[in-house]
Structure 1
Amino acid sequence: MNFPTRTLTLAIALASGAASAALTPEEIKQLGTTLTPWGATKAGNADGTIPEYKGGIEPPASYDPKKPNFRPDPFANEKPLFSISAENMAKFEDKLSAGAKEMLKKYPGYRIDVYPTHRTAKYPKYVLDNTLKNAASCKLADNLLQLSGTCFGGVPFPIPKTGSEVMWNRTMKYDQFAYYSPSQTSTLVDRSGRRVETGAFAYWQTFPAMNPARTEPIKADEMLEYGRIDWTGPARKAGEKLVMHDSVDMLNVGRRAWSYLPGQRRVKLSPDVAYDTPSPAGGGVGTVDDTQVFYGAQDRYDYKLVGKKEMFIPYNTFRLHDEKQCGTDQVFTPNHLNPDCVRWELHRVWVVEATLKPGARHVYPKRTFYWDEDIPAVGMADNYDDAGKIYRVTQTHYYPFYETTGHNTHEFVVHDLTNGSYVRQAYTPAGGGMMEVTPAAEAKPASFYESSALSRAGVR
């Protein structure tokens, strides 16, 4: 890998540190000048294939604010700059992940269509202000599993110096304060190309630290995230409900989850909705923490910051959400999504290697994460098996919002390279459309996510 000398030196010196290193005043002054307010390199690259950041996306003229979840593709008229296949991938090897190269070699019909790069990230002012505060005061405790110092709802470590800091940026990522997805769907495509709906559900999420009205710092033991799923399908799961509480404190509190089973009419604690438990909507493909590339506590791995590099990643995936071009019958092809529907771009990413801690258990003993410098939750992962071979490849399918600042990073795909199957989780309402942003005033209260709320709302 060819990394900038400064980045590589920084990674080697600090990757194994037991606590996060404080930024110097000179480093903090880079934010908003040579770096974006959240810490990405503001300038483009030397050959112009990555542009300078100039403020993010603006809604195109064809966008109708009365239909906020229908977001037209501003890049619909662009054509691929080039396509990468097994035949020519050696030419682009330094910008491809190991997982992408393995898929190109394994599947004859797989290709990567590379389009012009657009840096569409956009954050609200309060998140940028909080990020600047974090640069001077947010730290990690010695175990790297707790925030310490004074941290606010923004990017906690805009100039990360360790792998754990990059992973915390993903954990604390800003998409929105609250979401509502009335129709989230998980679809499995097995090795023969047969399509199976493995999950259909309504989905709510609230991130208390990202409340725009909030002014106080994050407490060490408060809730980081509330989530709730109300299953509507398949028939065997219809009527089930699940709530999850993720704490800022990954060490002493971690994740707690409760499920409602309509056949028993009772709520039970679900301690297995974490780590490498098979995903309840994955149909046997993917773990719980494969969700959104990585979702959950960090305590089972040691994280090494390899550095920052330019790589091709799925980005600005408007076409993938266009029912006319990439509806259900078009998008799902054997072994992988239809390459015609997936847009790839060249972006700078943070590369983090995760190695299972001695004595810890996980189906993936090694993982490599690639996180976008502009949006810490956009990226990919290569997940390895005990033999050191790539077992599964995960990718996000991001698009920006128009009705407000922020990003949808919740949709993803998991490819199982051992059997040729894959599963995609996406927002697929009847008649098309995309994920809905919940106005702050309409965000669900904490009581909506309590276990007692499940039994009150339960139905047979």
Structure 2
Amino acid sequence: MKTTMMKMGVLALSLLASSVMAAVSQQEADKLGTTLTPVGAQKEGNADGSIPAWDGGLKPGAAPVDSNGFLGDPFAGEQPLFTITAANAEQYKDKLTPGQLAMFKRYGASYKIPVYKTHRTASMPQAVYDAVKKGAVSTELTDGGNGLANFTETRYTPFPIPKSGVEVYWNHTNRYRGGNTTRHAAQVAPQTDGSYALVEYGDELSYPQLMDGINPNQASNLLYVYKQSITAPARLAGNVTLVHETIDQVKEPRMAWIYNAGQRRVRRAPQVAYDGPGSGSDGMRTADNTDLMNGAPDRYDWKLVGKTERYIPYNNYQLASPKHKYAEIIKPGHINQDLTRYELHRVWHVVATLKEGERHIYAKRDMYFDEDTWQLAEADHYDGRGQLWRVGEGYAVNDYQHQTPLNSMIGIYDLISGRYNVIGMTNESKKATQFVDRTRMNDYTPAALRNAGIR
């Protein structure tokens, strides 16, 4: 009996270890802010100096900001160090992703990557840095990596010193984004000749720790709430989508509702998840392609390949500028690469492979996460045949006024059809993204959708 009880004890400990994975030690966490940046990146530069040391990032006032909140370009006077084209891409292939190399093959002379001097501009408030360091020694993976324990008090970057691929992904989904935000933005899904129709929308993102009137029990597994209200074209205007994004979506699936203005009805929307069609994208992206990838990690096996150096979109202030109209940005096959900026940065390379028995149109996602922000910069999507299908890029900027990393826009390029989708453009909006101190949970309920959807 004694032997049997000992075996049962060992089994229980084994099961516990598989369901809850330990956080890092205090000794490891003490590296944050010393040899590592406060969110876990290597503080020093690389060996040849092409990536500099992190010195705190950009500060407020780094460049003039206009009356509507649009950021000026701190590096407006810089010229590319060199430009990668289809003719010389082979020379730089060790710093390019498979998707970028495929873009050169697909589009030839029209596609280019202008490479600029690297600036490590990422900066966040001290309160965020303090929360990350505190959470590093307490936050744990649960449910085989599908959830987080001991996280809701700290909320940001749960694994600044990651040990697995899924931990890197959790850092991306829980990175600091400046708190509650509202904006008016646009997306397009151009035809192969570059012609397009704008889909315009307002969206709101709010976090439970920055909301009033929220039930503590509800907040314990709530990551954020998101509302999108389409304003154009007329056939879609008035439609509203509401999402309650949960942390552990296996325990409690994402809850989504859609208000259809034509029917004047609110309905549950289970398709707003995984590979359901992205709203207003003409089928050019999935629901979980928003933010390049979002939502539950449960359908994939996650492999941490390691850290590497890649040319990724960075400091894309020109691409975000109101000086450039949408017609100047949107071109056949891909956006106007003359307006883009790429820099050499260290990235975490993670591969997510679809689990046996699970379903998703992407059988593999090959991803590169910026070490300074945890923002997903490059994502290659493979179909069930193992063929590279879609290439995703996040065109990063750092909002130095609010000390938060953002994307000026996100592109998903379909190598087979020659079409693409760009979401999150604000160039022609009246105001830049707005930051809101507090919001109310009552504004993000199914009952509130109908009022938000009046044409």
Match of 1:400 in 2: 398
Say if 1:248 and 1:62 are closer, same or farther in 2 by CA, change over 3 A.
closer
Q: Following TM superposition, by how much is the alpha carbon of 1:356 offset from its aligned partner in structure 2, in angstroms?
A: 0.4
Match of 2:14 in 1: none
Match of 2:258 in 1: 259
TM-score by length of 2: 0.90
Letter of the 2:442 counterpart: S
Q: Following TM superposition, by how much is the alpha carbon of 1:29 offset from its aligned partner in structure 2, in angstroms?
A: 2.1
Task: For structure 1, list consecutive stretches of 5 or more residues without a partner in the other structure.
Answer: 1-16
CA contact (8 A) 1:200 1:232 kept: yes
Say if 1:433 and 1:220 are closer, same or farther in 2 by CA, change over 3 A.
closer
Q: Following TM superposition, by how much is the alpha carbon of 1:58 offset from its aligned partner in structure 2, in angstroms?
A: 2.1
Match of 1:84 in 2: 84
Say if 1:68 and 1:250 are closer, same or farther in 2 by CA, change over 3 A.
same
**1:316 counterpart = 2:315:** yes
After superposition, where does 1:53-92 map in structure 2 within 5 Å?
53-60=54-61, 62-64=63-65, 67=67, 69-92=69-92
Letter of the 1:86 counterpart: A
CA contact (8 A) 1:243 1:258 kept: yes
TM-score by length of 1: 0.90
Q: Following TM superposition, by how much is the alpha carbon of 1:273 offset from its aligned partner in structure 2, in angstroms?
A: 0.4
Helix, strand or coil for the counterpart of 2:319? helix
Say if 1:164 and 1:378 are closer, same or farther in 2 by CA, change over 3 A.
closer
Match of 2:3 in 1: none
Q: Which deviations, in whole Å up to 9, do the C-alpha atoms of 1:359-389 show, x marking residues without a partner? A: 1100001111110001112411000012211
Q: Following TM superposition, by how much is the alpha carbon of 1:150 offset from its aligned partner in structure 2, in angstroms?
A: 4.9
After superposition, where does 1:355-366 map in structure 2 within 5 Å?
355-366=353-364
Displacement over 6 Å in runs of 4+: 217-220
For 1:412 and 1:18, how far apart are their aligned partners in 2?
A: 35
Helix, strand or coil for the counterpart of 1:394? strand
For 2:100 and 2:23, how far apart are their aligned partners in 1?
A: 35
For 2:431 and 2:119, how far apart are their aligned partners in 1?
A: 22
For 2:224 and 2:402, how far apart are their aligned partners in 1?
A: 20
Q: Which deviations, in whole Å up to 9, do the C-alpha atoms of 1:41-87 show, x marking residues without a partner? A: 000101111110001112446524x7262211010110000111121
Match of 2:446 among 431, 451, 456: 451
Say if 1:19 and 1:99 are closer, same or farther in 2 by CA, change over 3 A.
farther
Match of 1:185 in 2: 186
Q: Which deviations, in whole Å up to 9, do the C-alpha atoms of 1:332-355 show, x marking residues without a partner? A: 111111110110011110011000
**1:24 counterpart = 2:25:** yes
Match of 1:302 in 2: 301
After superposition, where does 1:406-425 map in structure 2 within 5 Å?
406-409=404-407, 411-425=409-423
Letter of the 1:344 counterpart: Y
**1:114 counterpart = 2:127:** no
For 1:333 and 1:430, how far apart are their aligned partners in 2?
A: 17
Letter of the 1:207 counterpart: Y
Match of 1:244 in 2: 243
CA contact (8 A) 2:185 2:429 kept: no
CA contact (8 A) 1:60 1:72 kept: no
Q: Following TM superposition, by how much is the alpha carbon of 1:398 offset from its aligned partner in structure 2, in angstroms?
A: 1.7
Say if 1:62 and 1:120 are closer, same or farther in 2 by CA, change over 3 A.
closer
Higher CA-based Rg? 2
Match of 2:10 in 1: none
For 1:53 and 1:38, how far apart are their aligned partners in 2?
A: 12
CA contact (8 A) 1:20 1:161 kept: no
Helix, strand or coil for the counterpart of 1:302? strand
Match of 2:5 in 1: none
Identical aligned residues as a percent: 39
Q: Following TM superposition, by how much is the alpha carbon of 1:110 offset from its aligned partner in structure 2, in angstroms?
A: 0.4
Q: Following TM superposition, by how much is the alpha carbon of 1:459 offset from its aligned partner in structure 2, in angstroms?
A: 2.0
Match of 1:49 in 2: 50
CA contact (8 A) 2:271 2:277 kept: no
Match of 1:330 in 2: 328
**1:343 counterpart = 2:341:** yes
After superposition, where does 1:129-140 map in structure 2 within 5 Å?
129-140=130-141
CA contact (8 A) 1:140 1:149 kept: no
Q: Which deviations, in whole Å up to 9, do the C-alpha atoms of 1:392-424 show, x marking residues without a partner? A: 011111212233221223730110001111111
Match of 1:167 in 2: 169
For 1:31 and 1:112, how far apart are their aligned partners in 2?
A: 33
Deviation larger for 66-75 or 393-402 = 66-75
Say if 1:220 and 1:321 are closer, same or farther in 2 by CA, change over 3 A.
closer
For these two proteins, the number of residue pairs brought into alignment is: 433
Helix, strand or coil for the counterpart of 1:195? coil
Match of 2:381 in 1: 383
For 1:246 and 1:297, how far apart are their aligned partners in 2?
A: 9
Say if 1:185 and 1:254 are closer, same or farther in 2 by CA, change over 3 A.
same
